[in-house]
Every structure is written in structure tokens, then in C-alpha cells.
Amino acid sequence: MKSAYDIAKEHIRHIEPATHGGEIWNQRKPASEIIDFSSNVNPLGISFKVINVIKKNLWRIPFYPDTKYPSLHRAISEYLNVDEENILVGNGSTEIIYLFCEVFLDKGEEVQIPKPTFGEYEIAVRRTGARPKFFELDSVFKVDPDKINYESKIIFICNPNNPTSTFTSRRTIVQVLERAIKQDALVFVDEDFVEFISNPKRNTAVGLVGEYPNLFVLRSFTKFFGLTGLRVGYGIGSKEIVDLLNRVKPPWSVNCLAEVAAVAALHDRGLIKVRHLVEEEREFLFETLGRINGFRPVKPDANFIFVDVSSSNLSASDIKRKLLQRDILIRECSSFGLPNHIRIAIRSRKENKKLVQSLKEIVN
């Protein structure tokens, strides 16, 4: 008879931790001395309004948070014009990914995941004993509805996609939803980077939730709002989906300071300058990277750029290593199964120029 340890070991033996950007803590210099292009978050960082709100609410630390998070639900409801009963909040978007799989997947069930994309979907699926199956994106790294098996239990879509920075149109998402609902498949659309695209309110899938009960849309305060270390995310879905997720979600998973910071961030209209900066620097960086010998950047929609470096005289890992010698950190994409690609976050013009100049010197 197998012990509980042996059963658990057998269940998770194929799981490997995902690799992420932001590896600034284990470098030869302090994090403050490294320009981090590997972490695709708000290049301006946390706003002073949010910092001030955190300072004013330090008195909350001795108390448990309200598990209903009324102020955060109300703020999200106003921000997206959705009913509060359609909102789920969690300890970053990753907790919600894992929670969704825990609730809706059984051992042996099949899940559709695009390739390449964010690695935590696969890990969350494997933890339940379900089987991840991968579908290819089209030639410009967007979702092709014809490549998906709709007989699967869940279809994951990262939009804009990580690491390719490509946005699949709302029309295409509707095509996926129409086919999926006929097969009783759930569609999980991860919009962590959607605030960086052009016209996010018009292009988001959030407004489709009322029409498609099989849709769940994930959002985060990590990327656009810069609350990376506070770990707070949320999702929008039907009342039935949200109710099921809330039944098993751990209590107090969003801490009291994360809640007030998230509310303040949603009310900070000054953050519009982040989108303007990203739009301007995205065009600059895309054009200048394309002029580097052997570099082929993919046209980006989010706040980072995906670059094929297979025609250069260096591998992606060599480029990362040589840049680190200059205190610049980028993401090489071998963990996505793409050893000849790099991912570069968009930062300030001064920092972007330093990166481009360093790359020219290294590659040329």
C-alpha cells in the first residue's frame, strides 16, 4: 500500500517551478544598481498617492482584513462598470489561476494552453492531475480559433500574450467563446497587461462576461499599477463561477495594505501618463531594436518586446550574460521553449537608449 508521501510524490513528479523575470535579488550587485528590463511592469513604479495611502493606513496592520473586501470590490466595480457579485479578488493573479484550476479540473481532464505563454497555467493544471495540451499561435503569435480543441475542460488565453506582447482581437475571443460554449468548455482570458494596449476599455473581454457564462477574465495590480510586491489581483466572471471560487478561496489572502493601495491605484487618474510613456517608448524601442544586426522584434501591443535573436552572432543566454556585466538585466526565453528569443520590458527613454547602445556594442 502506497503511503500518502508516495502518492503525493507521484502526483507532482512532473511539475517544475516556472521561471520568471525580475531576478534582481541574486545578482552580483544590489538590486538598486541594476536596470531591470526583465520584469515587465510599470516603468514609473508605484505612485506617490499609493505610497501616502499605505503610510496613512499602517494602523490597520494589527487587524484581520475584512474577508469581503468591500472597498476593493466597490472600486473595481466602478473602474470596470461591472456588478460587485461578478468580482473575485485574490493574492495576485497567480493565486486565482491556481484556484480556478483547483475548482474546475479533475484528474485526467484536458486543458488547452497556447504555446508559448505564461508558465503558471501549465503548473496549475498539472497540480490537479489534469493534462495540459498545447495549441500553436498563428504566424504573428495571436490566437487562431481553428487550432483549439474545444472538447477540453478549460481554454487558457493570455491577452496580451506573455512573452510575445501580442494582442488577440475581441472579435477572435468571441469566436473562441462561441465554439467553447457549445462544448461546455470554460474560457480563461488573462488580461494582466491589457491596460498597456491602445483603447483597453474598448478591447477588453470584460464586457462579454454577461453574455458568455463560460468566460472568466483575470486582471492584476502588478503590471500597470506597479503594486508588484503587494500581491493583489482580481477576476471577473459569472455570479456562479465567482461563488464557487469564493467557497474555497483561502480567507484573508489580500492583506489590509494591499487592499487600500489597490483602491488608491484605481482612483489615481495620474496613471494615464504610464500608458502615454509606454506608447511612445514602445515605438522607439521597436524601431531601434530592429536596426540591430540579427535582431527581429515582433510588433508589440503591451509594455514589453519579444525579439528573435537567432540571426545574431550571439545566443540569447550570451546576450543576457554580457548585459549583466553592464548591470542590465533582460529575460531570455528558453523557459518558454524559445532559446533564440529575448524579452525586453519598456522603460524610460534614457534607460532604453542605454540598453540599445549596449546591445549594439555587444552584438556588432
Q: What is the pLDDT of residue 153?
A: 98
| Maximum alpha-carbon separation in the chain | 63
With cell 495549441, the residue in question is: 135
* SS3 per-residue string spanning the chain: CCCHHHHHHHHHCCCCCCCCCCCCCCCCCCHHHCEECCCCCCCCCCCHHHHHHHHHCHHHCCCCCCCCCHHHHHHHHHHHCCCHHHEEEECHHHHHHHHHHHHHCCCCCEEEEEECCCCHHHHHHHHCCCEEEEEECCCCCCCCHHHCCCCCCEEEEECCCCCCCCCCCHHHHHHHHHHHHHCCCEEEEECCCHHHCCCHHHHCCHHHCCCCCCEEEEEECCCCCCCHHHCCEEEEECHHHHHHHHHHCCCCCCCHHHHHHHHHHHHCHHHHHHHHHHHHHHHHHHHHHHCCCCCEECCCCCCEEEEECCCCCCCHHHHHHHHHCCCEECEECHHHCCCCEEEEECCCHHHHHHHHHHHHHHHC
Q: What is the mean pLDDT of each run of 10 residues along the chain (364 residues)?
A: 58 57 55 83 90 96 94 97 97 96 96 95 95 96 97 98 96 98 97 94 95 97 92 97 95 95 93 90 96 95 96 92 94 91 96 96 87
Q: What is the pLDDT of residue 198?
A: 87
Give helix 239-248 / helix 92-104 axis angle, nearest 10°: 100
Q: What is the pLDDT of residue 20?
A: 46
On the question of a cis peptide bond just before residue 297, with omega within 30 degrees of 0, the verdict is no
Q: What is the pLDDT of residue 227?
A: 93
Q: What is the pLDDT of residue 29?
A: 58
**Domains with residue ranges and CATH for the chain:** 4-45+271-363 (3.90.1150.10), 48-268 (3.40.640.10)
For residue 360 the three cell numbers come to 549594439
Q: What is the pLDDT of residue 363?
A: 86
